[in-house]
Amino acid sequence: MKTLIKNGTIVTAADTFRGDVLIDGETVAALGAGLQAPDARVLDARERMVIPGGIDVHTHLDMPFGGAFSTDDFQTGTIAAAFGGTTCIVDFAIQEAGGTLRRAFDTWQRKAAGKAVVDYGFHMILRAYSDAIGAEMAELVAQGVTSFKLFTAYPGVFYLDDGSIFRALGRARDIGALICVHAENGLVIAALVQEALARGDVAPRFHALTRPPLAEAEATRRVIRLAQLAGAPLYVVHLSAAEALDEVRAARAEGAQVMAETCPQYLFLSHENYEEPGFAGAKYVMSPPLRSAARQEELWRGLRNGELQAIATDHCPFNFASDKQLGREDFSKIPNGAPGIETRMSLTYDGGVAAGRFSVNRWVELTATAPARIFGLFPRKGTIAPGSDADIVIFNPGARTTISARTHHMNVDYNPYEGRTVTGVPETVLSRGEVIIENGRFLGKPGRGRYLKRAPQGAGEANPWKTVPQDASPRTR
């Protein structure tokens, strides 16, 4: 089966040009002007951009957390992703307390099998570190799980001490894995939470007030230093505070191998959302929390100039009417997380490209190409090139849409961006050559998504240090 995408503006991280894309089966066969393929299905991309499908490297589907399960499973979550122009995800499998990594890997494979509609990989969350776990990490790398998330937050749940983090970093360095860190000082936060609750400060806004930016900056700096001591690269997930970005910037200037992602919620929402009437602030309870709008522009600047390497979502939806109510009397019992898998591409096109903050090529790089390189998926994913998987989005840069829970496809009863109108809409979405979204309809089949074995760090082109920050004036032809 051949498909010919005609007359589009093809955009990759490096280039913008008018032309056609010929797809043969699941992969891209050719790019060029005036391509002919009489036996191909033709998709007209006039006045549209043709971009690599988005890659969201931070999702939590069907995840147990805080007394609830995230409400999107691999079926609803990946369908919503596809509607939003994301054709590949990397989700977080979680080691059970005292459990093996193998068991967690098998559990997450079962969660995804028969359900996922786009291709997926897994990171692994470590709850502890020991020699036995270090040995298992190498087995997982052989299975394509080449990144591991550690937490300096959530004492008693995911928290790891500095010695364990240092040992895991050293092990990752030796086996070609990448350590990802949730950097907030969990012990300080626990003390602040205790003080707030003792004062009777139980409302959702105290979630943010007890997780101050300095608690994120301190942990970010500390783990960067641990990574430097171990001689290992580090990826900071969901960076939210400008103070933490200051630490990343300073370390990168010293030559530290540190990368960081931010998420749309930290670019578009702010701690003012916690002041919404009644208990509505609970919709925005996530960790790290939303920050001051006054410093958001620093994150945008970091995305533009290469201090931040990727935009992911941390999609972790909980229903407001039920799950979030667990914390009515105590903000610390509100399940942490919010939905976003469907809105990332349009929001960041709107706020990034349409608003003139960075180029369309930088947008593709931040949302697809760099995540693919960093997490061992490039060049199979993250670009449009002969031989790459035909994960492609025909994107209408002129269309506008208003975000709403009434029309979104995520399995959650609210949308944090309710009523926001954005410019830029993914219209037709192909996953490995198959049209799965067209004319506002999902055409794929649950279970068609495949598990992706990701390459280890430094293997071939999957080397994040080849990710070159782009300026705002890309080459065009």
Is residue 185 at the binding interface for ligand URP, with CB under 6 A as the rule? no
Nearest distance in Å: CB 22, ligand URP:
40
Instruction: Compute the least distance from the CB of residue 316 to ligand URP, in Å.
Output: 4
- The reply on whether position 184 binds ligand URP by CB under 6 A is no
CB neighbour list of residue 67: distance below 8 Å, 6 or more residues apart: 326, 333, 335
Binding residues for ligand URP, rule CB under 6 A, total: 8
List the one residue out of 59, 73, 55, 88 whose CA is nearest residue 450: 88
CB of 119 to ligand URP, least distance (A): 21
Is 173 in a helix, a strand, or coil?
helix
Contact call for residue 62 and Zn ion (CB under 5 A): no
Question: Does the protein bind Zn ion through residue 91 (CB under 5 A)?
Answer: no
332 binds ligand URP (CB under 6 A): no
Of 436, 383, 347, 370, the residue nearest 82 (C-alpha): 436
Q: Which among Zn ion, ligand URP, none contacts residue 365 (Cβ within 5 to 8 A by kind)? A: none
* Contact string (CB under 5 A) for Zn ion, positions 288-317, x = contact: --------------------------x---
Task: Say if CB 423 and CB 403 are below 8 A apart.
Answer: no
Show the binding pattern over residues 59-98: x = contacts ligand URP (CB under 6 A), - = does not. -x--------------------------------------
Under rule CB under 6 A, residue 337 binds ligand URP: yes
Q: At a CB cut-off of 8 Å and minimum separation 6, what does 261 contact? A: 57, 58, 235, 236, 237, 238, 239, 308, 309, 310, 311, 312, 371
Q: Give me the 298-317 binding string for ligand URP, x by CB under 6 A, dash otherwise.
A: ----------------x-x-
DSSP reduced 3-state for 74: helix
- Residues 257 to 296: which contact ligand URP by CB under 6 A? 286-287
Under 8 Å between Cβ of 282 and 324: yes
286 contact, one of Zn ion, ligand URP, none, CB 5-8 Å limit per kind: ligand URP
Handedness of CA 282, 292, 316, 223 (dihedral sign): negative
Residue 125 interacts with ligand URP (CB under 6 A): yes or no: no
Q: How many CB atoms lie within 10 A of CB 200?
A: 8
d(CA 31, CA 14): 14
Instruction: Say whether the peptide bond before residue 379 is cis (omega within 30 degrees of 0).
Output: yes
- The one-letter code for the residue type at 64 is P
Regarding 182 and contact with ligand URP (CB under 6 A), the answer is yes
Q: How far apart are CA 350 and CA 458, in angstroms?
A: 33
- Return residues touching ligand URP (CB under 6 A): 60, 182, 286-287, 314, 316, 336-337
